[in-house]
């Protein structure tokens, strides 16, 4: 009888562990926490704390819907600042930057 109880306890523990795993997997499909976020953990938490991205705090986990974080990231797309990549335009851009820094060409 004792062996039967151990198997029963084992099955309950396995069932609970499986349910927890499936719940985490379902949550991971819809939310990022600071460990799974494509952003650094501090930045992830800061965006929620400042209200830039809506989120939820559950225990020590800061959860953000994936679609909300992706929308925030898309809003901060970086566009190239150089209009042309010809050698002349690059040289002109370098000269302009050097001029702003107070460096003058000699000769």
Q: Residue 27's pLDDT is what?
A: 62
What are the two backbone dihedrals, phi and then psi, of residue 6, each rounded to the nearest 5 degrees?
-65, -40
Q: Residue 84's pLDDT is what?
A: 58
Assess if residue 44 is contained within a domain: yes
Q: Say how far apart CA 46 and CA 43 lie, in whole Å.
A: 5
Which segments in the chain show pLDDT lower than 50?
1
Q: How many domains does the chain have?
A: 1
Global pTM reads 0.51
Q: Residue 85's pLDDT is what?
A: 61
Q: Residue 36's pLDDT is what?
A: 92
HEC profile of 55-86: CEEECCEEEEEHHHHHHHHHHCCCCCCCCCCC
| Cβ neighbour number for residue 15 with a 10 Å cutoff | 10
Q: Residue 38's pLDDT is what?
A: 95
Alpha-carbon torsion 21, 23, 25, 31, what sign? Answer: negative
Q: Residue 25's pLDDT is what?
A: 64
Q: Residue 95's pLDDT is what?
A: 82
Q: Residue 32's pLDDT is what?
A: 92
Find the domain containing 51 and state its range. 30-100
Assess if residue 24 is contained within a domain: no
């Amino acid at each position: 009888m004792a062996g039967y109880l151990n198997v029963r306890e084992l099955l309950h523990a396995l069932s609970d562990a499986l349910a927890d795993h499936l719940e985490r997997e379902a949550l991971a499909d819809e939310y990022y926490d600071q460990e799974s976020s494509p952003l650094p953990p501090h930045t992830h938490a800061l965006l929620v704390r400042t209200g830039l991205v809506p989120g939820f705090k559950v225990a020590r986990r800061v959860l953000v819907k994936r679609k909300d974080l992706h929308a925030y990231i898309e809003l901060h797309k970086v566009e190239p600042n150089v209009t042309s990549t010809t050698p002349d335009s690059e040289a002109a851009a370098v000269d302009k930057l050097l001029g702003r820094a107070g460096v003058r060409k000699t000769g």
